[in-house]
Amino acid sequence: MNARLLPYVLILPVTLFLCLFFLYPFLLVSKQAFSTGAGFTLDNFREVTSYWKFPITMRNTLLLAAAVVPIQLALALLMATMVNRMKKGRDLVLYVWTIPLGISDLAAGIIWLAIFEQSGFLSSMMSGLGLVDKPVNLLTFQNPGIVFLAIMLAEIWRATAIMLVILVAGIGLIPKEYYEAAEVFGASHWKRFLRITLPLLRPSLQTALVLRVILAFEIFAVVAALSGTLFPVLMGETYAYQFDLLNSGAAAAMALIILAISIAFTLIILRVLRVPKGATI
């Protein structure tokens, strides 16, 4: 086959798949968001943004992303460097750390619910140790802080691995020579991490952060399992518009708002962590 055509032929199936199952539905959703039956309108957006809960859901979603992602980034970097230094058992540790990745987010939410609920592990343990008189319910509307903390913990547990996997692959790509040279000049571990690992990890950091931040704005099942309706997030409201209120137009508008936030943050991350022109690893 013609060598110039071959790449296009090879990506053709994926392109077709994406067009059919992503691009086409996306166009339909956009159409739905900007129409209420007759012509172009912003009514759907006006409706969802004027709802009293909208600022709360927006704040909750952003707050959660802001609290979770930096911790996950630090943890993932730490774990990746640790894995990288291991001589023995590297694969085993990596497998164990990535187990949460294979668990659905709803299941993860339910696992953490089993820990935090009234008859859950944490509460029973505390009463067993005599810290409290009888099992207490932590996830109630009176303790919004604990609800937030529980969701944070569940998210960190569940989704750090996806960043870890990307960063481990990225660190593996950094040539050993740089480290050897740095060692010769007497650079400390910390300095080597700051001056070699971090800058050369930029492309992987970019990918990991983009993926993770997008997922953070889509958070739904973990929140639903742990907090019920106590901690409304954007995606939960989207679901409510579609299935409780049967208002596809408003749901589509919410979906587009989430998309817009995701795109904005993706652009920011791409810009901040860009690899300077001509620089290569």
Partner 1 sequence: MTLHSRILGAASGAAIACTAFAAQAEVLFWSTQAKPVEEAQAMREQVLADAGDVDYQPNDGGPWLTRLQAELQAGSGTIGVLGALHGDFSAMNPDDLVDLDDLGVMSASGTFNDLAKLGTGSMQYIPWMQASYIMAASKEALQYLPEGADIDALTYDQLIQWAANAHEAAGEPKFGFPAGPKGLKHRFFQGYLYPSFTNGVVRTFASDEAVTAWEKMRELWAHTNPASTNFSFMQEQLLSGDAWIVFDHTSRLAQAFNERPDDFVAFPAPAGPTGRGFMPVLAGVAIPRTAPNMDAARALVEYMLKPETQIATLRATNFFPVVEVALPGDLPPSVKAAGDAVAKMSASADANPGLLPAGLGDKGGDFNRVFVDSFERIVLAGHDIRAVLDDQKGRLAAIMEETGAPCWAPDAPSDGACPVE
Chain contacts with partner 1 (rule: CB under 8 A): 52-53, 117-119, 134, 137, 139-142, 224, 228-230, 240, 242-247
Residue bearing tokens 């099942």: 221
Q: How far is the CB of 94 from partner 1 (least distance, A)?
A: 33
7 versus 37: smaller Cβ distance to partner 1: 37
Question: Are 151 and 223 spatial neighbours (Cβ–Cβ below 8 Å)?
Answer: yes
56 versus 67: smaller Cβ distance to partner 1: 56
* Alpha carbon 226 to chain centroid, angstroms: 17
Q: How far is the CB of 137 from partner 1 (least distance, A)?
A: 5
Q: Which residues of 141-172 are buried (b: 16+ CB within 10 A; e: fewer)?
A: eeeeeebbebbbbbbbbbbbbbbbbbbbebbe
CA atoms within a 13 Å half-sphere pointing along the CA-CB vector of 264: 8
150 versus 165: smaller Cβ distance to partner 1: 150
Closest CA to 157 of 109, 209, 223: 109
166 versus 240: smaller Cβ distance to partner 1: 240
Q: How far is the CB of 25 from partner 1 (least distance, A)?
A: 13
Can you tell me whether residue 188 is helix, strand or coil? coil
Q: How far is the CB of 229 from partner 1 (least distance, A)?
A: 5
Q: How far is the CB of 143 from partner 1 (least distance, A)?
A: 9
28 versus 86: smaller Cβ distance to partner 1: 28
182-to-82, 84, 187, 193 alpha-carbon distances in Å: 19, 17, 5, 10
